[in-house]
Structure 1
Amino acid sequence: MEGQVLGNRYLLLEKIGGGGMAVVYKAKCNLLNRFVAIKILRSEFTNDEEFVKRFKVEAQAVASLSHPNVVSIYDVGHQDDIHYIVMEYVDGMTLKEFINKHGAINWQDAVKITIQICSAIEHAHKNNIVHRDIKPHNILLTKDGIAKVTDFGIARAVTSSTITMVGSTIGSVHYFSPEQARGGFIDEKSDLYSLGIALYEMVTGKVPFDGDTPVSVALKHIQEVPVEPHKHVPSLPYGVNEIIMKAIQKEQNLRYQSATSMINDLNRVLVQPQGGFVGVENFNGQSTIRMKPVNSPRNANESRNNEYNKNNDAKKEKKKNYVAYWIAGITSILVIALAIFMVISLFSKTIQPTYKMDNYVGREYEAVKIELEEKGFKITPTMKVSETVAKGIIIDQSIPPGTDYKSGNYTSLELTVSSGPKMSKVPEVKDREYREAQSEIEANNLKYKIEREFNEDVAADYVIRTEPAAGEEVEEGTEVTIYVSKGAKTQRIKVPNLVGKTELEAQKALADNKLQLGNIIPAGGKGIVNKQLPEAYTEVEEGESVTIWLTVEQAPATDTSQEPTLPTDTSGDGTETKDPADSTQSDVQTNNQNNNGTNVTN
């Protein structure tokens, strides 16, 4: 479902978890620009009114809660046949994943985590909500070590009818209480039993009851006394051992009667780990009464009457006990008969040998699917983006390699399959200005390069096409070539050789070749072309201009070398006097000098 948008708002990014009833996706809220977690009811349950109702109960239950150790609910809705809940996204892992990865947890850390969980349960109980499925799988741990309780999918408000649903036992078999296993009355103490089992697993790395079938595990919850956790972990403080054993008492009246009471002991054991303060709850106490003297003559008759009454009461009590024993015996027989019936129903068809689960990680999904279906497995593939694993290769499997299983249609296996790297569609940018096309390509997490070419139909600077083509799916980061128009292609012409020609001849030669005369240097001069730019025989586009340089024609100079030089007279007043002829000669020389530095116009 990755890539789908729910409620015109939530973009599904990737699957991050799942259970028997729903699948959880990481999503992006486009309205508030934040990550959220979306729980989607599995498709096989969308037509089951009971499951849909139970799914909605979760949203209603958690919506009334506001606590730092409870995952918040933001929204709830449905689209077509998809029912979903929008929740707070917690960046971390489940407590179960943490235990599987690291094994048993240091007892101080385990107690601190349990205090946070118990605080969330206390808040729920004060709002008259019993979770009914407390287990490490439903506890999220943030990277900062904060525990958050989630999955109130089978929670119910506390009423006189808070029991399991007819025909089915709700909860997870390794963690649910004896009363859940029997289908009996469930209250707040049932959550505390499950929390005690979770704490047992945290400090030992294993659950107290295990078996080959759910029925066998359920019977152990009802009948067997668990091995005390300090026998598995001798270094475990006795105070922690006492808290766990009190929390998982089979009789509800012998357990912690409230989450607050359990929190008090958990806080105390951190400073007094040797214990000795965990007491057994007593609910048969009587009020203080005034006793009369046993030997008073005045009370002799009264004493005899009391003795008579006591004997009668004893007979009645004995009779009552016989009835209670008979009822308890019949109840036990019915429970055992029901268990046997369930075992026979499950395993009477075929008795299959036990096999070891193979390791399918790294193998091609389609081949593995055929192999597993032949063995009777129900295969559920989940696609996951991977930058390093090729498309179609298995990344993970829900049943670890080496696990025992019995062949048959009752075994479900979820395979996580690589969908390859993230893909992106090449957007349609044809006939768009190339800078706009660049932005559109980048917005789709793609790179680009520009190639220019002539095109008769597309205006200059507009996109002709792309490679890969528009609509094609490619890996994110792929380079897309954008072909940009240079406009219509013009004819290329060789510039004629103009050197040695006059200005008029040069202009005619250029016109014959569909070129233009550009600048003339010096401006307005007349003469012969001695230089041109572009140079001769260079290819240029039609209509371009050519600049020319001219060698300007010079006027001949006058020869005055044979004319006599007249003496110069100086008047008595010091003024120099020149002959008129001398003045003319000087003017001629000056004129000749000017002619050497200026253009001559004929």
Structure 2
Amino acid sequence: MPESTRTSSTARVASLPDVGNWCAVSLLGQGRWSQVYRARPREAAADAPADYAIKLAAPVIDEDIDTARRLLMREALLAQAVSHKHLTSVLSSRLNQSPYYLVMPYLEGSTLEQLLKRHGMIATPLALWIARQTAEAAAALHRHGWLHGDIKPSNLFIADEGHVILLDLGLARSFGDGQIGPWPLAGTLAYLPPEAYASIVDLQPASDVYALGVTLYRMLTGRLPFEVRQPAELAEAHLHDTPPDPRQFHPRLAVPVVQLVSAMLAKRPHRRPSMEALIRELNRLEILTFPRRNAA
């Protein structure tokens, strides 16, 4: 399913909007900028499968509709430019007139955020598998000169068979056109890298590595590296504090896994592994834990 917080079920709503040539059958989720509906083509029979997801520009504040439309435009652009098995795909779009929306495949499964809320922690072999698939998606973006900019559990969709899709390309930023600039304070604060809070630091692929490191830390421990809630305190923690050793919350965690998480969460971007190096290390650790993954 595309980005936006997915509801616990495909909950029916009293009044579903008309979305172009699509018939919305249920609300899947909503966020600050959009709503996502399960849908079927309007000309299809009422009992035909609803195999599509419509991401509709529907900002919380009506005046933000232009921003919501630009986010959809960026997502459509990237989906066209970067095709990868672990990236969200866009089948078609309507962005030149209201209502603005994207059409995507409907996926069966859950977001990682839902799984974490349900289970607290993810078994190490499965966590490494999820992280490696996410890293492959991010590496594909990086090869085309783009940062994802908002890697977090609610933007990782886990299909029923374990296949991971990285969602929500609306906050992606280009770093390959010579127009590199400071990171805007956009995204989810708990997953933003230290350089997001320092206006003199430019965008770079290592920023996505940090966000994935926070995500992996949470999968392995059931908590965030920094549990403070106030934005100023969170910024201070990301800039200067060392996260608790993951083994405080998961004592049997293997040393190489702890070392990898620590490297991903390095304060200085150049000390983090590249996304390609991260994929190789995650692959190595996956092989070591593969029998345990099959048993999970």
The verdict on a shared fold, with TM-score over 0.5 as the criterion, is: yes
**Structure with the bigger percentage of strand:** 1
Structure 1 gaps, min length 5: 274-602
Match of 1:130 in 2: 147
Equivalent of residue 191 in structure 2, options 171, 175, 194: 175
Equivalent of residue 38 in structure 1, options 32, 45, 54: 54
Q: CA deviation at 1:80?
A: 5.7
In 1, the alpha carbon distance for the partners of 2:249 and 2:255 equals: 12
Q: CA deviation at 1:175?
A: 0.5
In 2, the alpha carbon distance for the partners of 1:54 and 1:146 equals: 25
| Paired AA for residue 230 in structure 1 | R
CA distance 1:231–1:237, change in 2 (3 Å): same
In 1, the alpha carbon distance for the partners of 2:240 and 2:162 equals: 36
In 2, the alpha carbon distance for the partners of 1:56 and 1:148 equals: 19
Equivalent of residue 162 in structure 1, options 172, 180, 194: 180
Equivalent runs, 1:199-218 vs 2, <5 Å: 199-218=216-235
In 1, the alpha carbon distance for the partners of 2:100 and 2:73 equals: 9
SS at match of 2:237: helix
Q: Is 1:4 the equivalent of 2:23? A: no
Q: Is 1:262 the equivalent of 2:278? A: yes
| Paired AA for residue 207 in structure 1 | L
CA distance 1:45–1:129, change in 2 (3 Å): farther
Match of 1:151 in 2: 168
In 2, the alpha carbon distance for the partners of 1:143 and 1:35 equals: 16
Equivalent runs, 1:339-358 vs 2, <5 Å: none
CA distance 1:255–1:29, change in 2 (3 Å): same
Q: Is 1:100 the equivalent of 2:117? A: yes
Match of 1:22 in 2: 34
Q: Which has the higher contact order (CA 8 A, sep 6+)?
A: 2
Match of 2:254 in 1: 237
In 2, the alpha carbon distance for the partners of 1:15 and 1:99 equals: 22
Q: CA deviation at 1:79?
A: 7.9
Say if 1:45 and 1:51, in contact at 8 Å, map to a contact too.
no
Measured against aligned partners, the alpha-carbon deviations of 1:448-485 in whole angstroms (never above 9, x if no partner) come to xxxxxxxxxxxxxxxxxxxxxxxxxxxxxxxxxxxxxx
Equivalent runs, 1:413-492 vs 2, <5 Å: none
In 2, the alpha carbon distance for the partners of 1:92 and 1:251 equals: 36
Say if 1:28 and 1:36, in contact at 8 Å, map to a contact too.
yes
| Paired AA for residue 105 in structure 1 | I
Q: Under a length normalisation based on structure 1, what TM-score does the superposition of the two structures give?
A: 0.43
Equivalent of residue 73 in structure 2, options 33, 56, 60: 56
In 2, the alpha carbon distance for the partners of 1:132 and 1:31 equals: 38
Q: CA RMSD in A?
A: 2.1
Say if 1:164 and 1:170, in contact at 8 Å, map to a contact too.
no
Measured against aligned partners, the alpha-carbon deviations of 1:414-437 in whole angstroms (never above 9, x if no partner) come to xxxxxxxxxxxxxxxxxxxxxxxx
CA distance 1:93–1:46, change in 2 (3 Å): farther
Q: CA deviation at 1:271?
A: 3.9
Match of 1:589 in 2: none
| Paired AA for residue 245 in structure 1 | S
CA distance 1:162–1:133, change in 2 (3 Å): farther
In 1, the alpha carbon distance for the partners of 2:265 and 2:276 equals: 16
CA distance 1:236–1:11, change in 2 (3 Å): same
Say if 2:58 and 2:65, in contact at 8 Å, map to a contact too.
no
Say if 1:25 and 1:37, in contact at 8 Å, map to a contact too.
yes
SS at match of 1:82: coil
Deviates more, 1:19-28 or 1:170-179: 19-28
In 2, the alpha carbon distance for the partners of 1:144 and 1:127 equals: 28
Q: CA deviation at 1:156?
A: 1.8
Equivalent of residue 85 in structure 1, options 97, 102, 105: 102
CA distance 1:93–1:272, change in 2 (3 Å): closer
In 2, the alpha carbon distance for the partners of 1:246 and 1:31 equals: 53
In 2, the alpha carbon distance for the partners of 1:189 and 1:47 equals: 30
Equivalent of residue 76 in structure 1, options 74, 81, 93: 93
CA distance 1:81–1:215, change in 2 (3 Å): farther
Q: CA deviation at 1:46?
A: 5.5
Identity of aligned residues (%): 26
Q: CA deviation at 1:217?
A: 1.1
Say if 2:20 and 2:99, in contact at 8 Å, map to a contact too.
no
Measured against aligned partners, the alpha-carbon deviations of 1:13-58 in whole angstroms (never above 9, x if no partner) come to 1111122221211111346865111111224255554443233111
CA distance 1:45–1:220, change in 2 (3 Å): farther
In 2, the alpha carbon distance for the partners of 1:189 and 1:122 equals: 11
SS at match of 1:73: coil
Measured against aligned partners, the alpha-carbon deviations of 1:569-599 in whole angstroms (never above 9, x if no partner) come to xxxxxxxxxxxxxxxxxxxxxxxxxxxxxxx
Say if 2:69 and 2:95, in contact at 8 Å, map to a contact too.
no
Q: CA deviation at 1:68?
A: 1.5
**Structure with the bigger percentage of helix:** 2
Q: CA deviation at 1:81?
A: 3.8
Equivalent runs, 1:572-587 vs 2, <5 Å: none
Say if 1:26 and 1:36, in contact at 8 Å, map to a contact too.
yes
| Paired AA for residue 27 in structure 2 | K
Q: Under a length normalisation based on structure 2, what TM-score does the superposition of the two structures give?
A: 0.84
Instruction: Tell which structure's C-alpha radius of gyration is larger.
Output: 1
Measured against aligned partners, the alpha-carbon deviations of 1:288-308 in whole angstroms (never above 9, x if no partner) come to xxxxxxxxxxxxxxxxxxxxx
CA distance 1:199–1:233, change in 2 (3 Å): same
In 2, the alpha carbon distance for the partners of 1:63 and 1:152 equals: 11
Paired residues in the alignment total 269
Measured against aligned partners, the alpha-carbon deviations of 1:114-166 in whole angstroms (never above 9, x if no partner) come to 1111111111111212100000010001111111101011102214433456x
Measured against aligned partners, the alpha-carbon deviations of 1:165-222 in whole angstroms (never above 9, x if no partner) come to 6xx5111101111111223311111111101110000010111012231222122111
CA distance 1:25–1:48, change in 2 (3 Å): closer
Say if 1:204 and 1:232, in contact at 8 Å, map to a contact too.
yes
Say if 1:196 and 1:244, in contact at 8 Å, map to a contact too.
yes
Provide runs of 4+ in structure 1 moved above 6 Å.
none
